[in-house]
Structure 1
């Protein structure tokens, strides 16, 4: 895999620009999405390779792995980026039932 591709992505995503926050910035957010996608892609190609014994699927899994490694080298803080609504466990908790619903459920018991 060629580093020119990662450099292109870096330039395209703004990875060469200065930003106030070294982690919470556009290029780390974009890189994190790419890294997650590459990880899932590699896993999927490995399953296909095992199920079909096709060498091409294994080669695609290796390519995804290599691109993920290069992306991590170029954007070492990407996985620390917090995606609003996705990486915030305190926002993922199920909402509490309304007092009206809670009292109806208690009365039904």
Structure 2
């Protein structure tokens, strides 16, 4: 077996095109829209799954989806300023709820 020299070793951070992806969508009045998510740091990202099984395991069943190639998904989200694409995320969490109801006063910030 031939040894790889440093120049022959591909960089792990180089993007490799993904195949057709299962992309979660939201139905709307003018058709479907790719659903965008947030990374743990709060940046917006497009999400695609390599299999329907992975999509349902992560997001649950009954989620609408479409098949898109990676370049098509990137082209669809680029005008929105979304340049990140997450493939097969393992974990999702619901959006955090506000700690206090809207319009309620926080006791520590009440004026004396």
The TM-score range, normalised by the shorter chain, is under 0.3
Greater fraction strand: 2
Q: Which has the higher contact order (CA 8 A, sep 6+)?
A: 1
TM-score normalized by the length of structure 2 = 0.20
**Higher gyration radius (CA):** 1
TM-score normalized by the length of structure 1 = 0.21
